Amino acid sequence: MRILLTPALSVILAVMAWHAQAADPETGRSLAAQCRTCHGLDGIARIPIAPHLAGENRIYIETQLKAFRSGKREHEMMSVIAKDLTDEEISHLAAWYESIEITATMPE
C-alpha cells in the first residue's frame, strides 16, 4: 500500500515529530523539583487540592500550564508558577510527568 503525502500533511507530520523529540523527560525531571511540594517529584500529589500528574497525557499538561501562564485559567498558586515557564520548559515538564508509569490494583 502506497500513501501519498500532501505538502500540508508532510509539514504537520514534521512538526509533530519535532515536537515529540523536543521534549526531554530528564530535563523535565529537573524542572519538576519546583513542583514536588504539591505534585510530588513522582507525580503523586502531596496535598489534597493538587491533582496527581503521574502518567497524565503530555498534551493535557501542556495545555493546562499554558492556560495558567496566559491567564485563561486561574489558580492562586499555579498562575504565579506558570507565568515564567517557557514553552520548552512546559514541554519538558509534561514529558516528565507523562513518562511516569503508574499501576493500579483493583479491589477484589
Report helix, strand or coil for 47: coil
The whole-angstrom distance between residue 56's C-alpha and the CA centroid of its chain comes to 7
- Over 70: is that where the pLDDT of 24 sits? yes
Average pLDDT, the chain: 89
Task: Supply the pLDDT for residue 89.
Answer: 98
Using 50, 70 and 90 to split pLDDT, how confident is the model at 14? low
- Over 80: is that where the pLDDT of 108 sits? yes
Compute the 3-state secondary structure of the chain and give helix, strand, coil in percent, each to the nearest 5: 55, 0, 45
Cβ–Cβ < 8 Å for 39, 100: no
pLDDT in tens, 35-82: 999 999 899 999 999 999 999 999 999 999 999 999 999 999 999 999
- For range 15-35, the mean pLDDT: 80
What single-letter amino acid sits at 64?
Q
Cβ–Cβ < 8 Å for 61, 94: yes
Angle at 79 between CA 76 and CA 83, to 5 degrees: 150
Q: What contacts 76, CB < 8 A, 6 or more positions away?
A: none
Give which of 54, 55, 75, 72 is closest to 63, Cα–Cα: 72
